[in-house]
Structure 1
Amino acid sequence: MVTVLALSAALAYGVADFLGGAVARRSTALKALAWCVPMGLAVVLVAALLAGGGFGWAAMAWGFGAGLAGGTGLITFYRALARGPMSVVAPVSALAAAVLPVGVGTLRGERLDAAVLAGVLLCLVAIGLVSMENGGAKEGTGPEAGGRRRLLDSGPLMAGLSGACFGIFFVLLKSAGDDAGLWPLVAARAGNLVIVVAALLVTLRFRGGESGPRVPGRALIGLALLSGALDAGANGLYFIAVQDGMLSLAAVLTSLYPAVTVLLARIAYSERLRVVQRIGMAVAIAGVALVTTG
């Protein structure tokens, strides 16, 4: 059951990231999230009310902390998607998001069976292979494409930072426990919203009241709302999976979402899959098979 839930979360995350990235490319990361995050909050609030469960302040605090980390990760991730190819950004973020929970789970004494451990290691290798960027690719030309500014604002670097934030999000949600129903997810989404609103206010202040182009058209707004709903659903699937199973296993399987994003980017934007990325996807399939049979 943990495997099914975590892989379902990966599917939902992958589609949500693709849709959110498409919106961010036509507007800005913050404007896309201004639609996505409130939608996600509404979805998890309804789900929490239907699911019931106790309202524990400790669990809510863990959830809110997870939301602060996740909100920071979402901003940097959506900006990375707007700056670099999805087929590079998504896997880099996922690799960073997977490594941290595995380390924390190991330190907490989690021990996987040999077959499952081999599958988890293969999944980590797969994420790394899918994230390998063409060394000849360039993000831009001219003075703005070089130096410190290019490094700090590059897609892969921001993707790595977002992955670290997502890893913290995964760990803190595990710590929230399962005694409070889905309410920790509501707190997490509230934390997301706090970060996005704060970032918008800072942007308005430093840009003289201008926060960038709006999300153009009802179609893109609809995609942003769908992205937020799918992301919230993925949060719920991961939360249930990680409460029923080990952190290292649930986080790694959930972090396979780049395969979905990469495939959708290949279809929609004709982003080429390199041979090493195709090998990575094959390794991911083998890893998932080992985890499932183990």
Structure 2
Amino acid sequence: MMGASNPFGILIAILAAFVWGSGDFVGGRSTRGRHPYQVLALVSITGVVLLVLAAWLRGETWAGPAVLLWGSVAGVSGGFGLAMLYRGLATTEAAVVAPTAAVVGVVLPVLIGAALIGLPTPLQVMGLVAGTMGIWLVARGASATARADSGLGLGLLAGIGFGGFFVSMAQVPGGSVFTPLIVSKSVATLLGVIVVLQQRQPLLTPRDNPWAVLAGLLDAAGNVFYLIAAHMTRLDFAALVSSMAPAVTVVLAGAISRQRVAPRQWVGVGLCMAGIVMIAA
């Protein structure tokens, strides 16, 4: 985990946000007519296959117990976060659970990063605040009527899971890229498959849902970019900028699917962009 601001690290984190946001947009299409956990399992399996292939092509070998430890912790944490998010989206107010999960998932690594490394410059702190506000507004969506208590608990749990993933991945020793992600994705895949089988849902094949395969490829690529960014710049910077993926999803939804984008979401996109500029300064 780096302790200084690296412009190239910020750029890689932007790539992570773009790829993750594109994956979420594609993932939205893949869930049409399918149970979300079925799609999640196929997305995870696809990611594992891609990462194993990439590790083989790179000739990357296991780098020791630290990779296994932190990769496993990240997999459990990220899988738990997704499970809580999906449960919240299915049973509570999406306009509460989604932004709560997004912001808590950012605040946790920001606080830990500040504790371990120290505060960045005042301008960069302003960038962190602006980016966090932007993520909240983007993830909040168009609804302005959601009850504040509906989904708050599940959103907090989901955010803790996502924040744990960001922090755990940042602890992986430098030089290891694909192998820790293979461990993480394998753990998350196992959890997803168990949930699908418990609900007596059939596992999907790539032929059943090619959109989920594409989402899995993009999700795996986003994980790679985030891990590289976390090795090149501060944990809080890498986590915050990578977490701006919802802004990309919103822009794609408005431009490609012609979905209505609320004014507050456009404000959120603007705050995310301003946050990146201030962080990179």
TM-score if structure 1 supplies the norm length? Answer: 0.81
Partner of 2:67: 59
Partner of 1:6: 13
Matched, 1:200 2:196: yes
Matched, 1:136 2:150: no
Partner of 2:5: none
Question: Which segment is superposed worse, 31-40 or 271-280?
Answer: 271-280
Partner of 2:163: 167
Alignment match of 1:227 (pick from 215, 240, 255): 215
Tell me, yes or no, if the aligned pair for 2:98 and 2:140 is still in contact at 8 Å. Answer: no
Alignment match of 2:267 (pick from 266, 279, 291): 279
CA positional deviation for 1:216: 10
1:81-230 superposed matches below 5 A: 91-132=99-140, 134-136=143-145, 151=150, 158-204=154-200, 211=201, 218=207, 221-230=209-218
1:119-170 per-position Cα deviation (integer Å, ceiling 9, x unaligned): 12211121122234533369xxxxxxxxx9xx4xx5x765553332111101
Structure 2: runs of 5 or more not aligned: 1-7
Question: Could you say if the C-alpha distance between residues 288 and 7 of structure 1 is closer, same or farther in structure 2, counting changes exceeding 3 Å?
Answer: same
Partner of 2:40: 33
CA distance in 2, matches of 1:127, 1:40: 25
Q: Any idea what SS the aligned residue of 1:99 has?
A: helix
Question: Could you say if the C-alpha distance between residues 179 and 131 of structure 1 is closer, same or farther in structure 2, counting changes exceeding 3 Å?
Answer: closer
- Root-mean-square deviation over aligned CA pairs: 2.9
CA distance in 2, matches of 1:83, 1:11: 29
Structure 1: runs of 5 or more not aligned: 139-147, 205-210
CA distance in 1, matches of 2:255, 2:87: 21
Matched, 1:259 2:240: no
Tell me, yes or no, if the aligned pair for 1:28 and 1:82 is still in contact at 8 Å. Answer: no
CA positional deviation for 1:83: 7.1
CA positional deviation for 1:236: 0.3
Paired positions, count: 271
Matched, 1:249 2:240: no
TM-score if structure 2 supplies the norm length? Answer: 0.84
CA distance in 2, matches of 1:222, 1:34: 13
Partner of 1:18: 25
CA positional deviation for 1:217: 9.6
Q: Any idea what SS the aligned residue of 1:43 has?
A: helix
Tell me, yes or no, if the aligned pair for 1:174 and 1:242 is still in contact at 8 Å. Answer: yes
Alignment match of 2:224 (pick from 232, 236, 245): 236
Partner of 1:143: none
CA distance in 2, matches of 1:83, 1:16: 23
